[in-house]
Amino acid sequence: MITQIDNCNAALDTGKSKDLYQRSLELLIEGSSSPSRGPANYGKYPLYMQSGKGSRIWDANGNEYVDWMMGFGVVPLGHADASVTEAIYHAATTGAHFATATEIEVELAEAIQRLVPSAERVRFTNTGTESVMAAMRLARGYTGRAKIVKFEGHYHGWWDDVLLNSHPMPVHALGLPSDPVKIPDSSGLNRHAQDDTIVVPWNDLPALERAIANHPGQIAAILTEGVMSNMGVIPQAAGYLKSVEKLARKNGILFVLDETVTGFRVSAGGCQEYYGLSPDISTLGKALGCGLPVAAVVGRAEIMNALGWGGVLHYGTQNGSRIGLFAARANLKKLTANDGEAIKHSLSIAEAMCDGLSGLFTRMSVPAIVQRVGPLFQIMFTERSSISNYREYCGHVDQSLYRRFVQKMLESGIYMTPAPTLHFNATVAHTEEDVSLTLDAAERALRAIGF
Ligand code: PMP
């Protein structure tokens, strides 16, 4: 489970931030709308942010921050991008919802299909969680099989069937890699929801082969993140995902790639383009709507068509929200213009940050590494030269040191993810100045915590 931390930014214990916190106490749970924005990650006070532009955000007290969190990665163009806000304005002033099909659905689906060739059919949803739910129902319906494979340390949203083994835990609680203990991440789950979920260590092909052999003809889907992005940033071992795809095909199992985090970011076509994969079903979200809740489940026509006539039922009043879809279209247009200049810029910023941080750690003899895939990267305080799976993360990454470091960064006006298991998000809006401000602050923060 998430454990409470005691960091508290003194600068927020004053002014409007303090006032909002006090007003929220008897209104909102932990002052916000998600535990990840509450005391588990922020100490006593949630951060109350008031506005954002480009790579910068301002809190309720007027303090400015360089933002590396970027709304959990949902704003690849930066905050309040002009082309996106214009598109939102146009949609809002011509009607938000008609309870009909719309032209923008067709246009955005075409745009997605151009970037993600495996998206032979597209169904819009609102969040990553919903897309994963639809994908798993589709996989079960299409194959007539009940079980799904889910990997240790992967997070796929807060739906009961997959809400297990996604938080860091003491290694001794995990059981053996050959038979991981199933650890639900929440109370209140449907008691049988996880009976058909098989948990397997990631980046370990023999473990997956064993799990398949133990459940012949019973597994509907192998569900995987393309980059392990909810345990810092952990990349696949070379060729691993391609092997998972082949193994799935050989056994009549659907290969389902959760691109909620990686879609439109690791490359325009997501992880599947980056690693040369052909998933049967993919889930897209976060960066798609550039800040608006737009997500999708996409995949091979033969499978997706099972949604037809509600054979595999997927409803949703807000599916294909017109305002969100306009924002998404403007977003994809800008992200992919001029031969993907925007994404290339994000990558070069991420590279400069990682080189700078690694250099700093070496120079100051800090036991820390930076792991990166595309514009996603994360610092891990560890004696190891790399972290390649969940168990290594649980056993060898010092999360409390990370939290102390982040707190010091915040005091210097740098907003990084306070959750060690999340990551930095470099975007089109970040500049070289942001990089050098961050590196200077990092040096001060490391000194302040004793290096
Ligand atoms: N899949 C992955 C890989 C995620 O990281 C997340 C959210 N962090 C989700 C699914 C769920 O997405 P949402 O929060 O939009 O429901």
Q: What is the pLDDT of residue 10?
A: 63
Instruction: Report the helix count and the strand count for the chain, using DSSP H and E.
Output: 14, 16
Of the candidates 42, 65, 142, 155, the residue annotated as catalytic is: 155
CATH code for the part of the protein at 82-333: 3.40.640.10
Residue 8 CA, ligand 1 centroid: distance in Å: 27
Please give the backbone phi and psi of residue 120, each rounded to the nearest 5 degrees, phi first: -65, -30
CATH topology of domain 10-80+340-448: Aspartate Aminotransferase, domain 1 (3.90.1150)
Let me know if 258 is a catalytic residue.
yes
Residue 366 CA, ligand 1 centroid: distance in Å: 32
Q: What is the pLDDT of residue 3?
A: 42
What's the rounded Cα separation, in Å, for the pair 203 and 224?
Answer: 11
What's the rounded Cα separation, in Å, for the pair 451 and 441?
Answer: 14
pTM for the whole structure: 0.96
Q: Which atom of ligand 1 is nearest to the CA of 262?
A: 3
Please give the backbone phi and psi of residue 350, each rounded to the nearest 5 degrees, phi first: -60, -40
Residues 6+ apart with CB under 8 A from 59: 12, 17, 47, 48, 49, 50, 65
Number of Cα atoms under 13 Å in the Cβ half of residue 266: 26
Domain locations in the chain?
10-80+340-448, 82-333
Residue 296 CA, ligand 1 centroid: distance in Å: 12
Q: What is the pLDDT of residue 43?
A: 76
Q: How far is CA 210 from CA 146, 179, 196, 289, in A?
A: 18, 10, 16, 39
DSSP string for 361-387:
HHHTT--EEEEEETTEEEEEE-SSS--
Please tell me if the domain spanning 10-80+340-448 has the same topology as the one spanning 82-333: no
Please give the backbone phi and psi of residue 444, each rounded to the nearest 5 degrees, phi first: -65, -40
Nearest CA to ligand 1 atom 7: 157
Q: Which atom of ligand 1 is nearest to the CA of 285?
A: 15
Q: Spell out the per-residue pLDDT of the chain, length 451, in tens.
A: 344 444 456 667 788 988 998 898 889 998 888 888 887 787 777 889 999 999 999 999 999 999 999 999 999 999 999 999 999 999 999 999 999 999 999 999 999 999 999 999 999 999 999 999 999 999 999 999 999 999 999 999 999 999 999 999 999 999 999 999 999 999 999 999 999 999 999 999 999 999 999 999 999 999 999 999 999 999 999 999 999 999 999 999 999 999 999 999 999 999 999 999 999 999 999 999 999 999 999 999 999 999 999 999 999 999 999 999 999 999 999 999 999 999 999 999 999 999 999 999 999 999 999 999 999 999 999 999 999 999 999 999 999 999 999 999 999 999 998 899 999 999 999 999 999 999 999 999 999 999 9
Pairing mode, strands 175-176 and 376-381: unpaired
Let me know if 286 is a catalytic residue.
yes
* Helix segments in 2-81, DSSP class H: 15-24, 39-42, 70-73
Ligand 1: which residues within 6 Å by Cβ?
A: 127-129, 132, 155-157, 225, 229-230, 258, 260-261, 285
Residue 156 CA, ligand 1 centroid: distance in Å: 5
Out of 69, 130, 261, give the residue to mutate to test ligand 1, the one with the largest number of ligand atoms within 8 Å of its CB. 261
What's the rounded Cα separation, in Å, for the pair 123 and 73?
Answer: 22
Q: Which atom of ligand 1 is nearest to the CA of 130?
A: 16
